[in-house]
Chain A
Amino acid sequence: MVNGQAKAVDDLGRLYEATRDLLAQTDVPAVRQCLRTSLNNLHWALWLMGAEPSFVPDYVSLPDGRQAF
Chain B
Amino acid sequence: MSHSGAEHWNQWAETLNREELDALHLRRLKRVLDYAWARSAFYRQHWQRAGFHPDMVQSLDDFKHRVPLTDKQDFLQMQEDFPPYGPTVAVGAADISHHAETSGSTGLPLRIPFTDYDTERYGESWIYGWWVLGIRPHDSFYFAFNWGNYAGFWSAYWGVRRLGATVYSGGGQTTEQHVRNILGLKPTVLISTPSYALRILEAAREMGIDLSASSLRFTYHAGEPGPCSLASVRRKLDEGFGAISGELLGIAEVDAVAPGCRLRHGVHMSEMSNFSWSMDPRSHEEVADGVIAENVVTTYANSAQPLINYRTHDLVRAYNRPPCGCDMTWRYLDGVVLGRSDYMVTVKGTNVYPAAVENLISDVPGVSPYFQLILSREGSFDELLIRLEPDSHISSQEWDGIAEEVVRRIKDVVGVRLRAEVAAPGSLPRHDLKAERIVDLRRDEFRRELDRQGGQ
Binding site for B on A (CB under 8 A): 1-2, 5, 36-37, 40-41, 43-44, 47-50, 52, 54-57, 60-67
Report A36 CB to chain B, min CB distance, Å.
Answer: 7
Partner of A56, one of B12, B27, B93, B117: B117
Residue of B nearest to A1 (CB): B12
Please determine whether A40 and B10 come into contact, CB atoms closer than 8 angstroms.
no
Q: What is the size, in residues, of chain B's interface with A at 8 Å between Cβ atoms?
A: 30
Contacts of B24 in A (CB 8 A): 50
Q: In whole angstroms, how far apart are the Cα atoms of A67 and B93 in the complex?
A: 11
Please determine whether B92 and A65 come into contact, CB atoms closer than 8 angstroms.
yes
Please determine whether B121 and A44 come into contact, CB atoms closer than 8 angstroms.
yes
Binding site for A on B (CB under 8 A): 10-13, 24, 27-28, 31-32, 34-35, 39-41, 89-95, 115-117, 120-121, 124, 272, 300, 303
Please determine whether B41 and A63 come into contact, CB atoms closer than 8 angstroms.
yes
Please determine whether B117 and A57 come into contact, CB atoms closer than 8 angstroms.
yes
Contacts of A61 in B (CB 8 A): 91-92, 94-95
Contacts of B12 in A (CB 8 A): 1-2, 5, 49-50
Q: Main secondary structure on chain A at its contact with chain B?
A: loop
Contacts of B272 in A (CB 8 A): 47-48
Please determine whether B90 and A40 come into contact, CB atoms closer than 8 angstroms.
no
Contacts of B300 in A (CB 8 A): 47, 55
Report A4 CB to chain B, min CB distance, Å.
Answer: 11
Q: In whole angstroms, how far apart are the Cα atoms of A13 and B116 in the complex?
A: 21
Partner of B120, one of A40, A54, A60, A64: A40
Partner of A65, one of B28, B35, B94, B124: B94
Question: Given the known A-B contacts A52-B31, A56-B303, are A63 and B39 also in contact in the complex, defined by CB atoms under 8 Å?
Answer: yes
Contacts of A66 in B (CB 8 A): 92
Question: Given the known A-B contacts A44-B124, A48-B272, A52-B27, are A63 and B90 also in contact in the complex, defined by CB atoms under 8 Å?
Answer: yes
Question: Given the known A-B contacts A1-B12, A49-B12, are A63 and B116 also in contact in the complex, defined by CB atoms under 8 Å?
Answer: no
Please determine whether A40 and B91 come into contact, CB atoms closer than 8 angstroms.
no
Known: A1-B12, A54-B31. 17 other contacts (CB 8 A): A37-B116, A40-B117, A48-B13, A49-B12, A50-B12, A52-B27, A52-B31, A55-B28, A55-B32, A55-B34, A60-B115, A60-B303, A61-B92, A62-B92, A65-B92, A65-B94, A66-B92
